[in-house]
Amino acid sequence: MTEEALLERLTAVKGIGVWPVHMFMLFSMHGPDVLPVGDLGVRKGVNSLYELNGLPEAAEMEKVCEKWWSYRSVEDWYMWRLVDANVAAGKAATNEEALSLLCESIGYGLHPSLVAGELEEEEAGWKT
């Protein structure tokens, strides 16, 4: 079953919305390419990383995060950690400071192509 079919089928059940289905796909099905467009933490992280004017709506999230295609579940995790880093830094003065704090807190460095948004297939690895 495709993600779209699963989303359509589960949201047809009264009381189940898009966000819970995205969380189910992320944490129970371990989907590698899930973009929870309604998740506040991910939206705040995308806003901070790309220095947008306000929280992005679903369509803007899809467009901005398209470059992360096939790795968007990893991107979600980084966006949540970026928000945590911003809070820990007291709303870091610059995005670079927040990203630096994020990388230090998880013990890894972000691959430069991920930060620049130029993810290339042959460079899609982690740096330690």
pLDDT in tens, 86-128: 777 776 445 666 666 666 655 555 544 444 444 444 444 444 3
Q: Is residue 128 part of a domain?
A: no
d(CA 67, CA 35): 12
Q: Is 76 a catalytic residue?
A: no
Q: Which residue has the tokens 């991920």?
A: 114
Whether 1 and 27 map to the same domain: the answer is yes
Whether 64 and 102 map to the same domain: the answer is yes
Phi-psi region of 37 (alpha: psi -120 to 50; beta: other; left: phi over 0): alpha
Q: Determine what percent of the chain is predicted with pLDDT higher than 70.
A: 70
Whether 14 and 44 map to the same domain: the answer is no
Whether 55 and 104 map to the same domain: the answer is yes
d(CA 82, CA 127): 18
Q: Is residue 104 part of a domain?
A: yes
Interval 73-83 mean pLDDT: 90
Running DSSP on this structure, what letter comes out for residue 65? G
pTM to 2 decimal places:
0.69
Residue 84 has pLDDT above 80, yes or no: yes
Interval 10-25 mean pLDDT: 94
Tokens matching residue 51: 């220095």
User: Annotated catalytic residue: which of 33, 39, 76, 84?
Assistant: 39
Whether 52 and 22 map to the same domain: the answer is no
Domain ranges, residue 103: 33-123
